[in-house]
Amino acid sequence: MPGRRMIWNVLDTISWCARELQKWKGVSIGKILRDLNRKRRHLSKLNESVRTVDNVKERKSVVKDINNLLRQEETFWRQRSRALWLKDGDRNTKYFHRKGGQRKQKNKIWKGTGGEKDVKAAAVDFFRKLFQSSHPSVSDDILEDVRGRVTEEMNVCFRAEYKGDEVVEALNQMHPLKALGPDGMNELFYQT
């Protein structure tokens, strides 16, 4: 079945992309923090040194760089926290950091269990039991009085192939920083 193989290739590619972006995220936020510390130390030295025209110009440049790095750090933590009611530029990095950490802890449902595999097995078992009937035969008499709500015309629409422009339209209607998809990416990744 070539269709299934293609889907698995796409899923593998998305998984690879998510892993690479995780590596990049660790490198990029780490670089921002290292650069910020380095620039702050440099600014401290400039503040302690004799004020000359060159030192004042350099100090202005370093302050501008620090503000840019602070903006980048704040944006990172804001996106991670998903506190969308706050705006960039509020310098609430501590709040965003705490909020992002809380969400991360809340999302770890297997903490205190046998691990992620046990949680997955328990979930599969729960839903298998939930949707498994102890009396699988259904009499037509039972279904006689149930009116159908889906017309044949509606059913044709539901079963139609997705069109690319419909997918793009739906994607663009989503908030770019809301919940991550099963691939670990938010809508912003796909909207750009």
CA-to-CA distance for 115 and 173, rounded, in angstroms?
Answer: 36
Diameter of the chain measured on Cα atoms: 95
* Residue from 79, 48, 98 nearest 186 by CA: 79
How many other CB atoms are found less than 10 A from the CB of residue 177? 16
What the block records as the tokens of 62 is: 């370093």
Residue 150: the pLDDT is 86
Residue with tokens 């991550």: 180
How many other CB atoms are found less than 10 A from the CB of residue 46? 17
CA 86 to mean position of chain CA atoms: 18
Dihedral angle computed from the Cα positions of residues 102, 108, 109 and 114, in that order, rounded to the nearest 10 degrees: -140
What is the model's pTM? 0.40
Pure H helices in the chain? 2-48, 53-81, 93-106, 116-131, 140-144, 152-159, 164-173, 187-191
Residues 6+ apart with CB under 8 A from 35: 65, 69
One digit per residue, the tens of pLDDT, for the chain of length 192 reads: 444 555 567 777 888 888 887 777 666 778 888 899 999 999 989 888 888 888 889 999 999 999 988 888 877 776 766 555 555 555 555 666 666 666 566 556 555 566 667 777 877 888 887 777 666 666 667 677 777 788 889 989 888 888 888 888 888 888 877 766 777 777 777 777
Q: Are 77 and 96 within 8 A, CB to CB?
A: yes
Residue with tokens 């670990």: 184
Start-to-end C-alpha separation, the chain = 32
